[in-house]
Amino acid sequence: MPLPAFARDWTETRWDRFAATSSETGLFRGDTLLHTDINPSNMLVAGRRVWAVDWAWPTRGAGFIAPALLVVQLLASGHTPAEAEKWAARIPAWREAEPEAVDAFAAAGLRMYRERTRRRPAEEWLTVMVRAYGAWTSHRGVGVPPASAGV
């Protein structure tokens, strides 16, 4: 489905400040309409059909981002990184993504949730997300220094 004209200015930037370098932010750009609030409450499943609901943060970006967000939710619910990525491999945008882009996104997500957890340590769901991103970056062999090491 082509990007609707009204969404052309909705560039996704929320992970930019958590990228290791400014050049990594370009890896998150694209012309795919993204549902960037993928979580169990926003997915309705009936048999073999799934609906994404509550499009509060629709943006335009790299096509691999939506399946990457689902990978993290699968990890948070107990799947292994290999299982989650195997599921994502069914999606063309995931298969076509540069591994460096996925690695950069996973690392940026871990940095983002580490910061959010530092700000709101009592919110368990944030800790769950840090663990999920940590497992994913470890699986992908992406080193992400602890927050005390600079990021």
Q: What is the largest CA-CA distance in the chain?
A: 46
Nearest residue to 105 (alpha-carbon basis) of 55, 71, 146:
71
pLDDT at 148 over 60: no
Nearest residue to 111 (alpha-carbon basis) of 17, 13, 7, 10:
17
Kindly report, residue by residue over 30-81, the tens digit of the pLDDT. Answer: 988 887 767 676 677 788 887 777 666 678 899 999 999 999 999 999 999 9
From its phi and psi, is residue 97 left (phi > 0), alpha (psi between -120 and 50) or beta? beta
pLDDT at 92 over 90: yes
The pTM for the full model equals: 0.84
Dist CA 61 CA 29 (whole Å): 4
